Structure formats: C-alpha cells, structure tokens
Structure 1
Amino acid sequence: MAEQRQATYGQVQQHQPQNYPTDAIRGMLPEHSPSKSQIIAVVTLFPIGGTLLLLSGLTLAGTLIGLAVATPLFVIFSPVLVPAAIVIAFAVAGFLTSGAFGIIALSSLSWMANFLRKVGATSRTTAPEQMEQFKRRVQDTTGQIGQKTKETGQAIQTKAQEGKDRT
C-alpha cells in the first residue's frame, strides 16, 4: 500500500482545471452578444406576448364563469334545447350535404363539357373508337368482378364444408 502511494506521488501530476459552478452557466450562454435587431425583436414581442397571454387567461376565466352560470339554465331548459340542437344539427348537415352534392354536380358537368370539347376537337371518327374501348373496359371489369365473386363463393363453401366436417 505504501508503495502504491509513493508511485502515485512520484509521477508528474498534470494540471486539470477546476470546475466552478459558474463554468456550467457560462457554457449555456452564447459566446457572442445578440445583435441590435434581435434585442429590438425581443423588446417588442415580449409585451405583445404578455398581452396575448393575459387576454387568453381572461377569455378562459370568462368562459368558465359563463359555463357555471349557464349550466343550470341548460339543465332546466334541456327538454327544449336538446331537440332544438338536434334539429339545428340536421339542418346544418343538410345544407353541407346539399352544397357538397352541388359542387360534385358542377365539377362533373364541367368535366363532361371539357371531355366533349376534346372529342369534338379531334376528328369525328375517334368518338366511336373511344366508345368501343370504353365498352371493352367495362366488359373486362365486369369479368374480373364476376371471377372474384366466384372465388369468394368457393372460399365460403370450402369454409362451410370444413366447419361441417369438424362437427
């Protein structure tokens, strides 16, 4: 043990910098000072952010107070309010659905008009060819759907057979 201490003290000790609490804080600070534009941005945005935060807090408090005051009224008038809310919800859904169908109809008519213009712009002999191609596509799709239906039916029959065989 004494030999180990002598060996340790006999070696040349290297100087290591001591760590002070302020060194950690200095490491977090930027090495360069902020520019004037950054300082102006912080000085202007800080009050605006504080004001908006204050307004959001006031709005939250007002909402909570209003809800506390209105809750008993909702309970008292709920036999009238619930059906009224349902009727209003259906009316809004109807208007939105009507608008969506209207937009779909207009876009479909626009697409058909553009398609017919293109067909009219090309030679008149290509329209029957396009119709034949369309008919072939429909027949192919119908054949594929029929094939899938047959395969699904066969799969159901085999599963039913397996279920019968197990019981």
Structure 2
Amino acid sequence: MEQSFFSWSSGWIVESIDRFRFSRPRGEITWAAMADRATDRAREHAGRAQEQARGMMQKIQERSPNSKQVLGLLTIITGVVVALVIGGVTLGGTVLTLLLASPVFLLLSPVLVPIGIVIALATGGFLSASAVFVGFCSVVSWLYNYARGRHPVGADQIDAAKHRIADTASHVTEKAREVTGYLQSRVPEAAPGA
C-alpha cells in the first residue's frame, strides 16, 4: 500500500520524537533537544528522498526515447494515417463509381464485352510483341559487343563452349583418319582375292 510522502514523513517525525523521548532518562529531555533531533532526522530523510528522486529521474532519462526515435515514430504514424486516408478515399470512390456506372454497364454490356475482349487481346499482343522486340534488341546488342571484343556477360562461357567444340571436332577428325587408315590398309588385302 502506497502512502503519500507527506503523510509518511509526518508519521515518521512523530515516531522519532516518541523514540527520542523514551530513549533518554527523564532529566535530559528538553523540547529544544527534541526539536534539534527531529530537524536532523528530517534533513537526513530529505537527503535520502532527494537521492532516490535523482536515481528515479536518471532511470527515466535512460529509458526515454531520444529525439531521432520520436521523430521516426511520428513519421511512421503520419505515413500510416496518410495511407489509411488515401485508401479510404480510393475505396469510397471505387464503390461510388461502381454504384453510378452499374446501370450503364448493364445497358451497354452487349457492346462493352466484345470491345473489352478485343482490347484485352490487342493489349496482350502488343505487350508480347514488345517483349520479343526487346529480347531481339538485347541479343543483337550482345552479339555486336561480343564481335567487337568487349566481353559482354556470358562471353567467357561462350568461348569455353567454342573451345570444347573445336577440341571435340579435332578429336573426331583424328579418329576418322585412324579409322580411314585402318580401313584402307584392310581394303587392298580384300581386293585382290575378290
């Protein structure tokens, strides 16, 4: 149970006075001595309270966010609010447009559906042709750079494949010569007796 500082300190002062009064022999107790003693105790208690308050303030300052963090949080909150407002306006506009345009779509649907299909096919064809054209241009550019010796991306792999093919072709040529030589050496033996 928490008590306020003032109710606790006043109770503590009364307890201190009572302790002081009963801890000394009766002849030595004076009101001035009791007041001095209570004043000293109150000062000690106030000093401890100030130290505790400083410690608490230091902990609060250590755990509190700095200005960059606060500014970042405000930026994020502003961005989220703006996005929600724009999203709400967009959704409201879409619903309103659909409500107002629904009768027009129902009346013109025999005309609009075929037009929509034609537009979709034309758009798809245009995008496909554009993609093929971009691919063709990139291949021509790569071949031009390769022929000029600029080593475009993948040129090393092409060179390695070219050397592998050339090595394989020379190996096949050597084998063909060996086989041809072997067959020619065997043919004259078979020809005289045939």
Higher-Rg member (1/2):
2
TM-score, length of structure 1 as denominator length: 0.48
Does 1 or 2 have the higher relative contact order (CA < 8 Å, sep 6+)? 2
